[in-house]
Every structure is written in C-alpha cells, then in structure tokens.
Amino acid sequence: NDADRAAGHQGPGDVYSTALTWAFNVSGHPALSLPAGFGADGCPAGLQLVAPYGREGLLLAVAREAERRGAGA
C-alpha cells in the first residue's frame, strides 16, 4: 500500500500492513501484539501495544489487563 511504499517498507499486501510496526523494531520500544478476534471478513485482528522505552513492566501489565478484559475473545 502507499503508506508502506512511502516508508520504504513493503508489507505483505493491502490487507496486512507493516507500515505502523517496523518503527518499534528500529527504536527499541517494547511492543507486543495480542490476538483480538476476527474481522467481518474472517481475517484475524490484533491489538498492538507499545510502551515507552524501558517500560517493559508497564507493557506487560497493560497486556495482562487487556487479556483479562477479553482481548482475543
């Protein structure tokens, strides 16, 4: 897609874009993705969480709470 091309990064297609994920690999910010069910088209959806640099504990606490509240259900 255009956002991927503009960032100099080719994603895996129009449906699944990596345009908003590669920066965290480069910056070192802790990030994770939780399964968040399926879209109306049957494709899997995910919830991406990112925390400030060095705040892995915060990221994991937020992820645990999201799971507790039903992310992925």
Asked whether 24 and 31 are in contact (CB, 8 A), the reply is: yes
pLDDT at 1 over 80: no
Q: Tell me: the pLDDT tens digits for 40-72?
A: 988 888 889 999 999 999 999 999 999 998 865
* 18-to-4, 43, 60 alpha-carbon distances in Å: 7, 16, 22
In single-letter form, the type of residue at position 53 comes to: Y
pLDDT per position as a tens digit, 8-37? 555 555 555 666 777 888 888 999 989 888
Calpha distance 64→30 (Å, rounded): 15
Q: Amino acid letter at 28?
A: G
